[in-house]
Amino acid sequence: MKFPNDFLFGAASAAYQIEGAYNKDGKGISNWDVFSKMPGKTFEATNGDVAIDHYHRYKEDIKLMAEMGLESYRFSISWCRIFPNGQGEVNQAGIKFYNNIIDECLKYGIVPFVTLYHWDLPEALELYGGWINKNTIDAFTAYAEICFKAFGDRVKHWITFNETVVFTKLGYIQGAHPPAIENDQKKYFQAIHNVLVAHAKSVEIYKELKQYGEIGITNVFTPAFSIDDNLDNIDAANHANNYELYLFYDPVLKGEYPEYVSNQLKERGVFPETTEEEMDILKRNCEKNDFIGLNYYQPMRVARNFDVDSKEKASATGAAGGAYFDGYFKTVVLLDKKYTKWGWEISAEAFVEGTKMLKERYGDIKLYVTENGLGDIDPIVGEEIMDTARTEFIEEHLKACKEAIRQGINIKGYYAWSVIDLLSWLNGYKKQYGFIYVDHDNNLARKKKYSFNWYKGVIENRGENL
Ligand code: BG6
């Protein structure tokens, strides 16, 4: 089977992880510019000041994407390039930079797929409480509107937020992302609510502008499965799916919180402050979403956790194992599964099973795989970067997409993470994901990896030979 002609083969990146030029041409400072410079926060104190200098090399990078045959490129806009203070004055140099990126893509027929928020919040807003402060909702929607108006004539695919569960949980529970707060459930659930309202309001604004493109939200997709048939463990998987999936999709697609979660949060006194108007915004816009994006890396294998005093907490870098923050379940490393060097399970089958769960709950909503890839330390053989483990990984997952489509799941595109080796938030440059290698010892020179030509071939024959 070939992938249908309207299926987009793409690859992805995010502004902070590639652009650099962190203080150039009027860009404001982001929360990551500040956080990454706090001692001990990132791997080997890496930061995005230069990253891979895509800001100055975007022409070379997009030319390589075109050479690879990429049909679509997913990238994010850095909010503080557009609004250095998060709100107020627009920085025209920021608009110009993204106009250049978009035009460069279109020059080669590459469809731009734009994420508005991939975690780099203007520090000016973080200082006033960031996602806890409801003013950030209005600041975000004003930023979204400016982007729709500036770029919407050429950009027809919009993602509001990337992985709400990740930046809020690491920000307010695990303390591993800004604002580096630990175990504050009240703030965690409040931040989630505020993000979801900002999303729904942006969808409303986008549809009012009648630009005839599509808009949705991306979440990390970690479907949970019980490790066995034990009823307690099945209950644990249900709990995990409610807190990690449905909490993030129900308000978007059904306009309400899953009862299972909201009842428990109310009992624990950590249900967010919501207004009638906000709940109405969620409700009246939920049917306007055109798609949801799935960043799929791994599933969760879960068991009920009865050892509530256990100190073994879930890792901030995503490795399987450890107790969930509310203590209810733990994720388990299974001997019969494969794992990456960073302890992430490799399972294409779980992706298919997971999408079926989504279909059961949300019907035929269009899906894009907005990220999927293998983080590895790529072997260098002679002069070549032989990332065959990556091509095997992507092949398995593209086959899983085919299988899901065969079973009636509405998947319309696949974006490999990442188009080029880039800065990992917590793993520096050591964990590679790209089709293009960046030589940090040689002036950030770009080099095609084995996977580059492999993916080009896959795109050329629309996946027929997989
Ligand atoms: C996703 C993010 O969660 O995972 C990306 O959207 C990130 O920005 C990717 O780089 C891989 O994460 P890591 O920790 O392996 O670099």
Per-residue model confidence as pLDDT tens digits over 372-395 = 999 999 999 999 999 999 999 999
| 255 CA to centre of own chain | 21
The Cβ-side half-sphere exposure at 281, using a 13 Å CA radius, reads 21
How many angstroms separate the Cα of 391 from the Cα of each of 293, 308, 350? 22, 41, 19
In whole angstroms, give the CA distance from residue 199 to residue 193: 10
Specify whether the CB–CB gap between 436 and 423 falls below 8 A: no
Instruction: Look at residue 1 and tell me if it is in a domain.
Output: no
Q: What residue's CA is closest to ligand 1, atom 11? A: 424
Q: Which residues of the chain have pLDDT under 70?
A: 310-311
Domain span at 313: 8-460
Give the list of residues 6+ apart from residue 428 with CB closer than 8 angstroms, or none: 42, 43, 44, 46
CATH number at residue 394: 3.20.20.80
User: Does residue 466 form part of some domain?
Assistant: no
Block residue for tokens 């975690």: 119
CB count within 10 Å of CB 443 equals 8
Tokens of 401: 């997409």
Q: Starting from the edge strand earliest in sequence, which strands make up the sheet with 300-304, in order?
A: 224-226, 300-304, 329-331, 322-323
Cβ atoms < 10 Å from Cβ of 333: 13
Most informative mutation of 390, 424, 426, 432 for ligand 1 (most atoms within 8 A of CB): 424
Query: Rounded to whole angstroms, how far apart are CA atoms 363 and 358?
Result: 7
Nearest CA to 340 among 432, 438, 402?
A: 432
Protein residue whose Cα sits closest to atom 13 of ligand 1: 424
End-to-end Cα spacing for the chain: 9
Between CA 71 and CA 226 the distance in angstroms is 37
Neighbours of 460 (CB within 10 A): 12
- Residue in 310, 73, 301, 288 with CA at minimum distance from that of residue 200: 288
Residue 100's H or E segment, with its range, is helix 92-107
The Cβ of residue 440 has, within 10 Å, a number of other Cβ atoms equal to: 13
- Residue 257 and residue 428: Cα distance in Å, rounded? 36
Count up the domains in the chain and report the number. 1
Which candidate, 231, 426, 239, 427, places its Cα nearest to that of 323? 239
Q: How many CA atoms lie within 13 A of 6 on its CB side?
A: 6
Distance 424 CA to ligand 1 centre (A): 6
Give yes or no for residue 424 CB within 6 A of ligand 1. Answer: yes
Pocket test for ligand 1, best of 374, 419, 422, 425 (most atoms within 8 A of CB): 425
42 lies in some domain: yes
Taken in order 347, 351, 357, 358, the sign of the CA dihedral is positive
The pLDDT, as a whole number, for residue 311 is: 64
CA diameter of the chain:
63
Residue identifier of the C-alpha nearest atom 12 of ligand 1: 424
Atom from ligand 1 closest to the CA of residue 220: 3
| Atom number, ligand 1, closest to the C-alpha of residue 373 | 11
Does residue 2 fall inside a structural domain?
A: no
The predicted structure's pLDDT at residue 317: 85
Atom of ligand 1 nearest to the CA of 375: 15
The torsion angles phi and psi of 161, rounded to 5 degrees, stand at -120, 145
The answer to whether 433 and 375 are in contact (CB under 8 A) is yes
Q: Ligand 1 centroid vs 373 CA: distance in angstroms?
A: 9
CA angle, residues 212, 68, 375, in degrees to nearest 5: 95
Q: Between the CA of residue 259 and those of 165, 329, 448, what are the distances in Å? A: 18, 19, 49
Cα pseudo-dihedral 165, 169, 171, 172, rounded to 10:
130
The catalytic residues are 371
Give the global pTM.
0.97
| Residue 3 domain-assigned (yes or no) | no
Task: Give the Å distance between the CA of 307 and the centre of ligand 1.
Answer: 30
Q: Looking at residue 318, what is its pLDDT?
A: 87
Q: How far is the CA of 346 from the centre of ligand 1 (A)?
A: 15
Tell me if 34 is assigned to some domain.
yes
Q: Contact at 8 Å (CB) between 1 and 408?
A: no
